[in-house]
Structure 1
Amino acid sequence: MRVHKKFLVMLIIGLTAIYFVFFFKIPNRYILKPGPLGDAVQMVSVKHESEEINGKIYVTTVSRRPATLASYLAALASYYSDVKTDYTNQGIMGKDNRDIQQAFMANSRQAAIVEAYRAAKIENELTIKGVRIMAVNRDVSNLDELRVNDILTAVNEEPVTQEMLSTLTDTLKANTTSLTVIRNGETQDLSIDKISFDGYLLNGVLAIEEKTPTVTIDSKGFGGPSGGAMLTLSIYQQITGQDLLNGRTIAGTGTIESAGGVGQVGGISQKVAAAHSAGAELFFVPDLAELDLTTTSNYAEAVRTRDFLQSDMEIIPVNNIQDIIRYLETTI
């Protein structure tokens, strides 16, 4: 009987240990690993553009999973796995969380279209649609009817302009305000009671659309901001009819900013490893001209990872979308 009890206790202890080592998720700790790749050429469809493009433009991603003790220790021993602490979702109300993700993805796609049109010098084919709501102060009950990712098209029946965006908060505090929004493709009219609150209310960004819609983007789940530069390149190539790839497989990372700037991102080691595994010949990465290879800049990290992998992939530092275009044009 004692042997049986001892065995049972040891079994319970063993199962408990296995659970805590392999299955218990460490709060706010995440493991980053090389993620899947998306082909930006396949994501973009341009109306009346039927010419086949030879080559690939890979959007690189990072796989992010909750950490267990086992995966945490494994990540510490791996060159292209990393452990991150993340408190970013704390305090976000559940009803806004999904809308926030959709708003950022929509804004990322919009930025890619705008900067591709600007690079092609045809930005006059774009027009202001309204203001995309990116955040709302949920402590102000008068704003309950407003949702993140709404596109505000009119205030008190006047079409929204860029100047109106800067005065919207004052308008909401002055009187009851009529807002017209597009939500999930449908137009709705909202009445917002006068707000007596001195702090932050909401913010938004201009929503831009093509005068004659031609570009369709199916991001196939690869909708994060860090894919902006490669998505912009794909749109630019198709709206101009240029073949910048010439059969090459390229990859890269970087947000797309105003005036075509390519911004710094995270997960560089994981993205370089994924691109290397996919056989990419070139990898475009954000550069900081004032930093050298002894720093933790995106470019420095990409070069170190490439060298560790003993890869032949060329790492090209860029500051804006024009740097990428010029490099591809001069190396065809």
Structure 2
Amino acid sequence: TGELAVDHSSAGNIGGVYDVARRGWSAEMLAALGIPLAMMPERLLYSGEVVGGLLEEWARRLGLQAGTPILAGGVDAAMATLAAGVTRPGNHVAMIGTSMCWGYLNQQVDARHGLVSMPHVYNGHQDLYIFGGAITAGASVSWFREQFCQAEEQQAKETGQDSLWLLEQSAAKIPAGSEGLLFLPYLMGERSPVWDDRASGSFVGLNLYHSRIHLYRAVLEGVSFALRHNIEAGTRGAHSLDPRLIVVGGASHSDLWMQIIADITHFPVYTIVQEVEAALGAALLAAHAVGVVDDRQMEKGWVQLELRAEPAAGNVGVYDRAFASYLELYPALKPVMHSLQLN
């Protein structure tokens, strides 16, 4: 388009230099950080607003019509949240891929509880997307598989089965709580509500009877505890949350992980039947901007949700006790984590 602009959700996600109340750059914080206001894009648009028309040169290269309206986008997690049908305060979604983002809609900033607030990609004039997340969610699973699961990788090559599926079949036989083993998924520091770039990962509670599969299940549980940590922080700021949790992203392919999340968070877990996620949210905003979809249609929901897991009474108590221990680990280990990185 030849235009320089940024959408409000992306601006709010930059961190520290966006004034959510004014929906604009914070001159005070930019000055405090020594960043000239002139360095920031002057045009701030809501997601779905027209940035400009497609230039002739790009129209030829893309095979599209010159002047085609190009719309402002938005942060991926918020887009995935919109795709899952989140348009009203209290709706909440967990996106679990390489990283994890859990977010809900509200109309008040929730910074006091360690979460991030930004204008939502839909109805951003009024609604805020409040989110928190873990840096290494699925990345923790990938790390463990790549470093310690060569046997499953070889079996997968020989049989055509997926190595994660093979690991899941074995891990499903391990009791909830991995028989006293906990994992902190802080393999690249941690985001909310910890906010510590020097935090590091830990397995705690290891004994001789723990197997490799115990450790794998503990990784799934540790990421799920990080999710609950964010949900509990968000619950202190939200008036109320819907009585169901929608999960999108690669983790949703795992039946075991969905059950673990339901047991740990106490929420029935739903996933999207269609393979759409953030791309559908962007498409819906585009359709809304050009009048193909109206407000009523935006809020009706465009995906089919499937109930994947409900909290199992026999596991909930086990995980509640384990979560209490999980919350104690980071404060106890923080000095050691930091000292190890200084050496």
TM-score by length of 1: 0.24
Q: Which has the bigger relative contact order, CA under 8 A and spacing at least 6?
A: 1
More strand by share: 1
More helix by share: 2
